[in-house]
């Protein structure tokens, strides 16, 4: 598999505080890589490191096969676009002027692609309006447009959905999918809005306390989700006794309901409950969410 | 580096702050020209706004790069910190030249007649060149502070404090170096009774020197004169060699010290006074040294700085 980014044993310390701790990570080409972790887990620090804003204390990373110690890492970095901790735009300038500044920084000879870029992010009608008068969603999209100026192959988005209203979130999601599918841009998104991330990501990396806990593709993740069945009955005592005798793992969620994990053989279970005069009120399968999965593995890491 | 300079020049052109500061400096140049033309004194008080405006401009313009997060775009676009730093230094020097032009044009238009009548052209030109060099030092100082401190408000405060600290230091050094080695004392504790001739002169108001009179209970008036003592005492504030030379060099290394020297010399020409022995030929060299030191310190610190 081709990797856009590979991180090997990366560590970042601020004085005595270790923010990134021996972290390993691989972002496959063409993926939408969801980088999941709670606030302070080290997501933004890692992004700052791979974007060259800060130097790692130890370890290394390679971008398109170029090690960060090599002199031509700056040239390789031109293949990246990034929006880190909010959009990096000049608030006192129009959308077009912001793009012109970035075009000049990149030394691009022509502004011909600017209207296309503005159309791509849905800002083609902003005219003379300055960025300070934009909504947060528009600013985020302008930030992405600035990041796209150099026609990058790899886009890094740090919490792109933070603070957006539902409409803004939908627009952002559609833009991310469009960039990945139509422009074949590999995207790394850090987020703690996991439900939204689950709608776009093809790969996940779970980080906690500066360490990568798990990397997994969305296909593998779906397989790994533990099946859970919620059963409601009239007699909780009977149900728990039967489940114990069938060696099923379960948790009691209320006076009349339990969540049963793993495969449940419904017919023998219902028959045994009926024999003991316990009526089954309802049975339905629950989908485990990305959030539950993350909390499970983070909890697991803490107790390990 | 040229790409960043082009981008930043475009940004300056679009910036209200740039045009506001440029206009303010233009007005400041006019006001200073009028001050010189009317008072025939090169007073530094009317030139101070120029430095304050420079401090404000560089703090706010560079600080915006951090506030808006756009400094990040340059690094992510593959520019090295060295490229960004030296592009900013070059840009600051270019902007300073524009500001200097805005200051000098109205100043020369208004004050040229007065100056040309009293000051040789060579002195005007050499003072102007030295002044421009010292402006470069100020600009680079403000730039280095602003590029190293991510908060534009804190950078602005530090730049203002630095300006006033350098100004006060230059004044203080100048004052200390102006101290006489010996100071005279006046013997007022043992008054000397005046002779009848001296009393006569005192009554007529013709006596040269200080005197006073006392009268006793019977109304007899006695006149006393205050005699200056012959003895002189060593001034404790006098600075001897080699410290005086060191302090003098420090004064001329400080851009405000140079400014004071230029202004007092130009003023002395206005009144045909004797010139002070000031090593003006060394001033550009001092400014170059200051520029080199500031740029080097800034570069080392900026390379180590973690950007956010």
Computed over every residue of chain A, the mean pLDDT equals 85
- pLDDT score at A179: 83
- What pLDDT does B276 receive? 63
ipTM summary value: 0.71
Closest CA to A144 of A126, A125, A127, A159: A159
* Burial class of residue B40 in the structure, from the number of CB atoms within 10 Å of its CB (0-12 exposed, 13-18 middle, 19+ buried): middle
Q: Does A85 reach chain B within 8 Å, measured CB to CB?
A: yes
Output the CA–CA distances (angstroms, integers) from residue A228 to A38, A152, A257, A294, in the order listed: 25, 42, 13, 16
Phi-psi region of B205 (alpha: psi -120 to 50; beta: other; left: phi over 0): left
Max mean pLDDT among A215-219, A234-238, B120-124 falls in A234-238
Q: Which of residues 66-85 of B touch A (CB under 8 A)?
A: 68-80
The answer to whether the Cβ–Cβ distance between B7 and A101 falls below 8 Å is yes
The two tokens of residue A115 are 């209207």
Tokens 């775009």 label which residue?
B73
Give pLDDT, residue A304.
40
Q: Which residue of A has its CA nearest to B1?
A: A105
- Identify the pLDDT of residue B87: 93
Q: Which of A75, A90, A106 sits opposite B11 (nearest CB)?
A: A90
Angle at A92 between CA A89 and CA A95, to 5 degrees: 55
Q: Is B229 on the interface with A (CB under 8 A)?
A: no
Burial of B191 (0-12, 13-18, 19+ CB in 10 A): middle
Beta strands in chain A (DSSP E): 3-14, 17-28, 32-36, 58-63, 66-67, 80-83, 154-158, 186-191, 203-208, 211-217, 228-233, 249-252, 257-261, 280-286
Please state the three-class secondary structure of chain B as a single string: CHHHHHHHHHHHHHCHHHHHHHHHHHHHHHHHHHHHHHHCCCCHHHCHHHHHHHHHHHHHHHHHHHHCCHHHHHHHCCCCHHHHHHHHHHHHHHHHHHHHHHHHHHHHHHHHHHHHHHCCHHHHHHHHHHHHHHHHHHHHHHHHHHHHCCCHHHHHHHHHHHHHHHHHHHHHHHHHHCCCCEEEEEEEEEEEECCHHHHHHHHCCCCCCCEEEEECCCCCEEEEEEEEEEEEEECCCCCCCCHHHHHHHHHHHCHHHHHHHHHHHHHHHHCCCCCCCCCHHHHHHHHHHHHHHHHHHHHHHHHHCCCC
A82 touches chain B (CB under 8 A): yes
Are A8 and A191 contacting, i.e. CB atoms less than 8 angstroms apart?
no
For chain B, what are the domain ranges?
2-179+243-303, 183-234
- Cα–Cα dist B227/B192, whole Å: 7
Chain B residue whose CA is closest to A132:
B68
Kind of pairing between the strands at A257-261 and A228-233: antiparallel
Q: Are A81 and B64 in contact (CB < 8 Å)?
A: no
Check pLDDT > 50 for residue A184. Answer: yes
Taking only the tens of pLDDT, chain B with its 308 residues reads: 888 898 888 888 888 999 999 999 999 999 988 888 888 778 888 888 999 999 999 999 999 888 888 888 888 888 888 999 999 999 999 999 999 999 989 998 888 887 777 788 888 888 888 888 889 999 999 999 999 998 889 999 999 999 999 989 888 888 888 777 777 655 545 567 888 888 888 888 888 777 888 888 887 888 888 776 666 677 777 777 888 788 888 888 888 888 888 888 888 777 766 556 777 778 888 889 989 999 999 999 998 887 77
Q: Which residue of A has its CA nearest to B74?
A: A105
- Which residues of A are less than 8 Å from B87 in CB distance? none
Whole-number Å distance between alpha carbons of B47 and B29? 8
* Residue A184 structure tokens: 């074949």
State whether residue A64 sits within 8 Å of chain B by CB: no
Interchain CB contact of B212 with A (< 8 Å)? no
Q: Are B254 and B44 in contact, with CB atoms under 8 Å apart? A: no
Q: Rounded to whole angstroms, how far apart are CA atoms A289 and A204?
A: 14
Q: Which residues contact B232 (CB under 8 A, 6 or more apart)?
A: B182, B183, B184, B185
Closest residue, chain A, to B78 (C-alpha): A74
Residue A85 has pLDDT above 70, yes or no: yes
Question: A105, B4: Cβ pair inside 8 Å?
Answer: yes
Query: Looking at the complex, does the CB of residue A153 fall below 8 Å from at least one CB of chain B?
Result: no
Phi, psi of A185 (to 5 degrees): -90, 130
Are B11 and A101 an interchain contact pair (Cβ–Cβ within 8 Å)?
yes
Nearest to A146 among B2, B73, B75 (CB): B73
pLDDT score at B186 = 52
Measured in degrees and rounded to the nearest 5, phi and psi for residue B192 equal: -105, 125
Q: Tell whether A203 lies on the interface with B, counting CB pairs under 8 A.
A: no
The partner residues of A206 in beta bridges, in order of sequence, read A36, A214
Which pTM value belongs to this model? Answer: 0.75
Q: Does A80 touch chain B (CB under 8 A)?
A: yes
Say yes or no: A75 contacts chain B, CB-CB below 8 A.
Answer: yes
Q: By mean pLDDT, which of A15-19, A70-74, B186-190 is the weakest? A: B186-190
CA of B102: how far to CAs of A274, B57, B93, B109, in Å?
Answer: 96, 14, 14, 12
Highest mean pLDDT among A103-107, A244-248, B86-90, B247-251: B86-90
Residue with tokens 């006019």: B30
Residue A302: pLDDT over 60: no
């Amino acid at each position: 598999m081709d990797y856009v980014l590979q991180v090997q044993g990366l560590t970042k310390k601020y004085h005595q505080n270790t923010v990134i701790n021996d972290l390993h990570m691989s972002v496959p080409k063409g993926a939408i890589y969801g980088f999941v972790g709670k606030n302070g887990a080290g997501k933004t620090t890692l992004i700052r490191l791979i974007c060259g804003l800060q130097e790692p204390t130890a370890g290394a990373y390679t971008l398109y096969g170029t090690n960060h110690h090599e002199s031509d890492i700056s040239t390789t970095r031109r293949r990246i676009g990034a929006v880190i901790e909010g959009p990096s735009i000049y608030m006192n300038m129009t959308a077009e002027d912001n793009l012109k500044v970035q075009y000049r920084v990149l030394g691009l000879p022509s502004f011909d692609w600017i209207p296309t870029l503005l159309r791509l992010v849905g800002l083609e009608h902003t005219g003379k309006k300055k960025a300070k008068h934009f909504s947060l969603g528009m600013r985020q999209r302008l930030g992405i447009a600035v990041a796209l100026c150099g026609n990058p192959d790899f886009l890094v988005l740090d919490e792109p959905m933070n603070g957006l209203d539902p409409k803004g979130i939908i627009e952002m999601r559609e833009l991310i999918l469009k960039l990945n599918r139509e422009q074949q841009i590999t995207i790394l998104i850090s987020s703690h809005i996991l439900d939204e991330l689950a709608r776009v990501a093809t790969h996940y990396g779970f980080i906690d306390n500066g360490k990568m806990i798990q990397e997994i593709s969305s296909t593998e993740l779906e397989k790994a989700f533990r099946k859970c069945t919620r059963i409601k009955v009239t007699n909780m005592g009977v149900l728990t006794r039967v489940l114990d005798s069938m060696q099923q793992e379960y948790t009691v969620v209320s006076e009349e309901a339990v969540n049963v994990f793993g495969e449940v053989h419904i017919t023998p279970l219902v028959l045994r409950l009926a024999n003991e005069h316990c009526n089954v009120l309802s049975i339905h399968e629950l989908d485990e969410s990305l959030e539950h999965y993350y909390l499970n593995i983070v909890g697991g890491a803490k107790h390990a | 580096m040229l790409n960043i300079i082009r981008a930043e020049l475009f940004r300056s052109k679009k910036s209200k702050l740039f045009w506001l500061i440029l206009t303010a400096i233009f007005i400041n140049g006019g006001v200073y020209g009028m001050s010189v033309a009317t008072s025939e004194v090169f007073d530094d008080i009317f030139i101070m706004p120029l430095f304050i405006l420079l401090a404000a401009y560089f703090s706010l313009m560079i600080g915006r790069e951090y506030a808006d997060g756009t400094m990040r775009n340059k690094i992510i676009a593959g520019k090295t910190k060295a490229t960004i730093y030296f592009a900013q230094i070059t840009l600051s020097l270019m902007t300073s030249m524009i500001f200097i032009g805005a200051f000098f044009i109205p100043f020369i238009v208004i004050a040229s007649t007065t100056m040309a009548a009293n000051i040789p052209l060579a002195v005007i030109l050499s003072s102007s060149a030295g002044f421009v060099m010292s402006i470069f030092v100020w600009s680079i100082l403000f730039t280095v502070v602003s590029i190293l401190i991510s908060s534009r408000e804190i950078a602005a405060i530090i730049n203002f404090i630095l300006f006033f600290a350098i100004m006060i230091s230059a004044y203080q050094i100048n004052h200390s170096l102006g101290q006489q080695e010996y100071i005279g004392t006046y013997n007022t504790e043992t008054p000397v009774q005046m002779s009848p001739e001296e009393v006569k002169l005192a009554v007529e108001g013709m006596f040269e020197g200080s005197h006073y009179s006392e009268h006793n209970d019977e109304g007899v008036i006695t006149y006393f004169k205050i005699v200056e003592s012959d003895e002189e005492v060593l001034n404790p504030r006098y600075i001897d060699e080699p410290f005086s030379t060191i302090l003098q060099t420090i004064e001329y290394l400080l851009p405000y010290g140079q400014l004071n020297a230029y202004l007092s010399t130009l003023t002395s020409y206005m009144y045909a006074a004797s010139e002070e022995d000031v090593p003006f030929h060394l001033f550009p060299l001092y400014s170059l040294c200051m520029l080199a030191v500031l740029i080097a310190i800034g570069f080392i610190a900026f390379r180590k700085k973690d950007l956010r």
